[in-house]
Each structure stands twice: as C-alpha cells, then as structure tokens.
Chain A
Amino acid sequence: MFRKPNPASGIPIYLQIEEQIRHAIETGALAAGTQLPSIRSLAETLVINPHTVARVYRDLESEGAIEIRHGLGAFVAEAWRERVRTDRMRSAQKLVRTVVRQLKAIGLEEDEIRRLVEAETAAHELVAGRR
C-alpha cells in the first residue's frame, strides 16, 4: 500500500515515508487500530534502509500517530486523526485571524495577502526542509 520513495529528491526518505503514513491516517486509508507492517517487511518492500523505517515509526510514535506495542508491532493510534486535526486547526485559525486583521489594517488587499502566504510557505519549505 505504500509507494516507494524518491531517493533522488532533496527530501530525506524518512520524511517522505512519514508524510505517506500520516496522509494515510488522515484520509482514513489506515484506520485506527490497523497494524503497520514490521520494520523489516516495510524496509524490504520499499527497498530502503531498516533504520529509516525504525526512525519513521519512532517519529510517528512520538507525535502520537501510532503506538508501538512491544512484541506485537506498530498500530495506528486511536483517535489521533481527529485530535490532531482539530487541535492544530483551532490554534492555526486563531493565528491567521490575527495576522489577516493586522494586514488589512495596513491596507493590504485579500489577493495580496493570499500571495504573501503562498510565497512564505514555499520559501519556508526550502529553508527548513523539515517540519
């Protein structure tokens, strides 16, 4: 179910796989409680370093997206999707509301604000390269 990452891109493989799994959880393609493949089998299927898979699982566990049950494997965490999405969106909305209000106050048009946001997100992705 997972796609092979593009090793030649500037984005580290672990980030590409994390993104895929997160996306699968967010869209419901991986339901809560679903067991993820073992480190070894995912490494062999995608032909990537097993340490990379281990790191992906560790990262996803620490952000609460999956649970590692020792001796059993990795499972999609219960209710992670809803929790993260609502929390994140709620606090983001607050921030954006303030910024938009301030920008309008100094006379910016809506499409100008939109352009600025787009340019900043693109630039940020390149500078930071990681989340």
Chain B
Amino acid sequence: MDTILETEKLSKRFGDFEAVSGLNLRVRKGSICAFLGQNGAGKTTTLRLLLGMMRPSQGSGHILGLRIDDEAASVRIRQRVAFVAEDKRLYDYMTVHQILGFTKSFFPGWRADRESDLLRRLDLPLGCKIRKLSKGMRTKLALLLAFARGSEFFILDEPTEGLDPVAMEMVLQIVVALASEGATVFFSSHQIAEVEQIADHILMIHKGKLVLDSPLDRIKDEYRQVQAVIHCPVQNCDFELDGVERICVDGSTVSMIVSHNVDAVMDRAYKMNAVSVEVAPLTLKEIFLETV
C-alpha cells in the first residue's frame, strides 16, 4: 500500500517540555485516518510540524514524498495539501464571496462544482463579512475553502469543533465523498463518535507519544475487556501475556484490557482456578479512556 504521510522519530521540544516525542506515524493513501488524543496531547503541534509551520527538534517526515523540514519542499506540501487549522483563521474584512474568489485564484484544480454544492448545503451567506459570521459558520467556510481545492490530501485539525449535529453530519458526509474519490483525509479530533463513524485507521497519542496505531475494525474485532474472579492470590505478572495491555487487580477480581490473544488469557485464568471469566467488547471511547 502507498504511504502518503510518514514520520520518523518526529520530536518537538519547548524548553524542558517535550510536546511531541519520537512519533512514527504512517497514513496510507486513500485512508480516512483519525488522530486522537486529549487536549494538550500534542496533536496540533504535530500537524504544525507536518505543514512546516514549525521545525522539528529531532526526526523528520515526508508528505507526498516531500520532506517536511525542507523549506522548499514544505512550500510544495502546502500547495498540494488542503489544511484546515484549529483556529479556522480567515480574513475578517472580506465577505464570503470575496474570500471564495480570492482563494480559488490560487488553486488551478479548484472544484467549482463542489464549491456551489457546498455553498448550498452549508447555507453560507455570500454577502456577509467574515467578521460577522458565527463560530459555526466560520468553521463551515474554512472547510468549504479546503474541500473545494481539489487536493489529494486533506489535513483537518478538529474539523467539526463548534458545529451543530446537522452540520457535523454534513461535514462527515463530505469527508466520505472525498475519500470515495480517492482522496486521503487525516484529521485530529476528540469526538470519538465521529471518529468511529468514518475513520478506518486510528492513531492515538498521549503526552506526545504514540499509544495506539491500528485499523479501527481490528480494534473492534480484537480488543476485549476480560474480568476474572480468582480466589487464590493473584499478581499482575500472572497475566503478563502477549496481548494483555493493561491489568488491574482488585481483591480477587482481575480486570484486563486485551488487544489480541483473548483465548490464551482465558485459558490462563481457568488454569488459575478462576470461578468466573467474563469477556466484553470494548468501545473506542473505553479504549481512549483506558489508554490516555
């Protein structure tokens, strides 16, 4: 499979604080890949590094085969990648109509069909000054400007933040349409629900480090919560098996997060004379809460 984005040991320090630490990320071409993490986990810093708005302290990466820390290459990355920043900053003094005309003049691949379709669906007031737009409207406009660029790769920082549920669903639908046309979408989010709905791959970071890198279907197929009641004394090391991600012993109850190999874990519990072994599926939300 083709890789569209790849980083190697990407790191960024601010004084003593390591905001991004040795990240090895990989996004496949054609994927809708979600970048999950708590506030302050390092998502926005990572995206800024990827787009050359900041230089890495260590490590590097490539987007579309271009080096992210090379100035000339980085300009070309920004030409080819449609990026929507977290703050959705736009020129306040322009009207919606003006910024559309201004933006499209930069992009030869501008999709006029998509522009008019989105204007209609997102219900944006053409004559209105950007200064007067609500936060939700501003977000919709920023997304429209990116979606109509005709890019092959979209990087979106919290694309649906501040949108009402209807607009949110519409944005997800547009992302799906982009992917159907073969585009790649890499988006940061802490909206687990939207991630579960459209993403095919999850990259989760915590305190600047990658803690989960997996196809979403694999997570759902294989991640399980196992709870065993064992009356003889149990220690964590009794369950240090392949696939056991987390163990918590509380009295005679052992709770585990298991990423694969559930059968072996259950066997071990039965061998230790467990009086009960329960296995339950885990949602991404639970994994998120357990992992970060």
Q: With contacts A126-B280, A127-B262 known, is A11 near B180, CB below 8 A?
A: no
Total chain A interface residues with beta-carbon distance under 8 A: 24
Note all chain A residues with C-beta closer than 8 A to B169: 47
Contact A40 B285 (CB under 8 A): no
Q: Is B163 an interface residue (CB 8 A)?
A: no
Contact B180 A44 (CB under 8 A): yes
Of B66-74, B98-106, B171-179, the one touching chain A: B171-179
* Contact mask for chain B residues 55-89; partner A; CB cutoff 8 A; 1 contact, 0 none: 00000000000000000000000000000000000
CB within 8 Å of B: which of A94-131?
123, 126-127, 129-130
Note all chain B residues with C-beta closer than 8 A to A49: 32, 176, 179, 198-200
Q: With contacts A10-B220, A39-B180 known, is A47 near B197, CB below 8 A?
A: yes
- In the complex the two chains form, what is the Cα distance from A59 to B281 in whole Å? 22
Q: With contacts A14-B217, A50-B176 known, is A126 near B281, CB below 8 A?
A: yes
- In the complex the two chains form, what is the Cα distance from A28 to B30 in whole Å? 35
Q: Is B279 an interface residue (CB 8 A)?
A: yes
Q: With contacts A47-B169, A52-B200 known, is A10 near B177, CB below 8 A?
A: no
Interface size class of B (residues with CB under 8 A): 20 to 34
Closest B residue by C-beta to A55: B217
Q: Is A7 an interface residue (CB 8 A)?
A: yes
Closest A residue by C-beta to B182: A50
Chain A residues packing against B (C-beta within 8 Å): 7-14, 39-40, 43-44, 47-52, 55, 123, 126-127, 129-130
A-B contact pairs, 9 of them (CB 8 A): A9-B281, A11-B220, A12-B216, A40-B180, A47-B169, A51-B32, A51-B179, A52-B200, A127-B263
Closest 10 pairs (CB-CB, A-B) = A10-B281, A7-B196, A40-B180, A12-B220, A7-B197, A50-B180, A12-B217, A49-B200, A126-B279, A43-B176
